[in-house]
Amino acid sequence: MGDDARASTHIRIAGIFAGTASGLTKVAVGHGFDTIKTRLQCSPPGTYSGAIDCLMKTVRNESVFALYKGATPPALGWAAIDSVLLGSLHNYRLLLIRHGWTEPVPGTDGRRLTIVAHGIAGLFAGLTSTILATPIELIKVKLQLQVQRSPADREFKSPIHCAREILRRQGPTGLWTGFGGSIAFRSNFMWMFICYETFMRGFSRLKGTSFEVGPGLATFLSGGLGSFGFWFMAIPADNVKNRMMAASLDAPRLSVIAITRNIFRVDGLRGFFRGLTPCVLRAFPVNASALFVYEGLMRMFGAEKSHLDLYAAGIKMYMLSMYD
């Protein structure tokens, strides 16, 4: 195996490992916020007056551990989802480099992806992850919406029981209920990575000034701030997706258009922004931590450094070898 092939394998393995660690970080930091968001979005109007009311009622009626209902599917699955998301993001970026979506790096002889290219890579990475993400998010949503304190009183006793019931009552396609909503939702990773790259470039321009920010802190801040851009754009599609997934197994499966019309008819435009408060509170710590772990591990393994050094030097043949 040549040096280029070994470097390619090293970067790919590092990307998978870093994506897995990133996904586990996201679950640990943010699942409680996500439970509140999901209940605000999918409960009948008037159930909760806001995020704090939802939190207090959940803890009072079901205990604090209720915030982590449905945590098992993402704990096991989001690691794989983020591995696919960030791993494919890395490869889409390389593909765009291969096809010339680059611009000069100011003050150097190197080149870098354009902001638009970062958005395109994020878009397709989000879409690529949809197939794996949909069944995991479906089971998570159904478990999160069970408000019974005792497990014996719940329709679904565990993630495995939930999956079995879906298969028994709806067949294999039932696991992809809400797929159209997932596509609409996950396409918004375009905005996430446009914002992320924009902030990273902004922090890089502070180098050499009294406001200089180190690479770790820049990654953390850019990830957190970029997540706000993602959620402000994605929250309407998230409402549609989660309401599609929340429907009873015995009810007809409604389309994206049907759910969208129903939200507008019942709540108006405001209905598409249900759950925004916990999203805003959750977005910074969750996404910043996840990206911090991912980028930090990539640097620790030397994978991102190898990519950036070769990229700056303009060695295009190395980039082409990543797709052999």
The rounded distance, in Å, linking the Cα atoms of 266 and 286 is: 31
318 pLDDT band, cuts 50/70/90, is: very low
In this prediction, residue 158 carries a pLDDT of: 93
Indicate the average pLDDT of the chain: 85
CB atoms within 10 A of CB 174: 17
324 pLDDT band, cuts 50/70/90, is: very low
Are the C-beta atoms of residues 187 and 124 closer than 8 Å to each other?
A: no
- pLDDT exceeding 90 applies to what percent of the chain? 54
In this prediction, residue 310 carries a pLDDT of: 34
In this prediction, residue 1 carries a pLDDT of: 53
Average pLDDT of 160-189? 96
Q: Which of 82-96, 130-144, 233-247 is the least confident region?
A: 82-96
pLDDT tens, residue by residue, 86-95: 889 989 999 9
The conformation of residue 49, written as its DSSP 8-state character, comes to S
The conformation of residue 64, written as its DSSP 8-state character, comes to G
Q: Could you tell me the domains of the chain?
A: 1-323 (1.50.40.10)
The rounded distance, in Å, linking the Cα atoms of 58 and 276 is: 18
In this prediction, residue 298 carries a pLDDT of: 77
Percentage helix, strand, coil, to 5, in the chain? 75, 0, 20
Cα angle, residue 87 at apex, residues 86 and 88 outer, rounded to 5°: 90
Q: Which of 34-48, 57-71, 237-251, 308-322 is the least confident region?
A: 308-322
Average pLDDT of 222-238? 90
The rounded distance, in Å, linking the Cα atoms of 249 and 162 is: 10
pLDDT tens, residue by residue, 13-27: 776 777 677 767 777
The rounded distance, in Å, linking the Cα atoms of 236 and 70 is: 22
In this prediction, residue 301 carries a pLDDT of: 77
- What SS3 state is found at 30? helix
Asked if residue 7 has pLDDT above 80, the reply is no
pLDDT tens, residue by residue, 32-79: 899 999 999 999 988 999 999 999 999 999 999 899 899 888 777 766
The rounded distance, in Å, linking the Cα atoms of 74 and 243 is: 18
- Secondary structure (H, E, C), 180-222: HHHHHHHCCHHHHHHHHHHHHHHHHCCCCCCCCCCHHHHHHHH
- What SS3 state is found at 157? coil
Q: Is 276 left (phi over 0), alpha (psi -120 to 50) or beta?
A: alpha
Largest CA distance in the chain: 66
| Both structure tokens of 23 | 């996904």
Q: What is the pTM of this model?
A: 0.80
Are the C-beta atoms of residues 287 and 230 closer than 8 Å to each other?
A: yes
In this prediction, residue 79 carries a pLDDT of: 67
Are the C-beta atoms of residues 25 and 289 closer than 8 Å to each other?
A: yes
pLDDT tens, residue by residue, 147-173: 998 888 999 999 999 999 999 999 999
- What SS3 state is found at 145? coil
177 pLDDT band, cuts 50/70/90, is: very high
- pLDDT exceeding 70 applies to what percent of the chain? 87
User: How far from each other are the two terminal CA atoms of the chain, in whole angstroms?
Assistant: 13
Q: Which of 91-95, 183-187, 222-226, 260-264 is the least confident region?
A: 222-226
Tell me the DSSP string of 82-127: HHHHHHHHHHHHHHHHHTT-EEEPTTSS-EEE-HHHHHHHHHHHHH
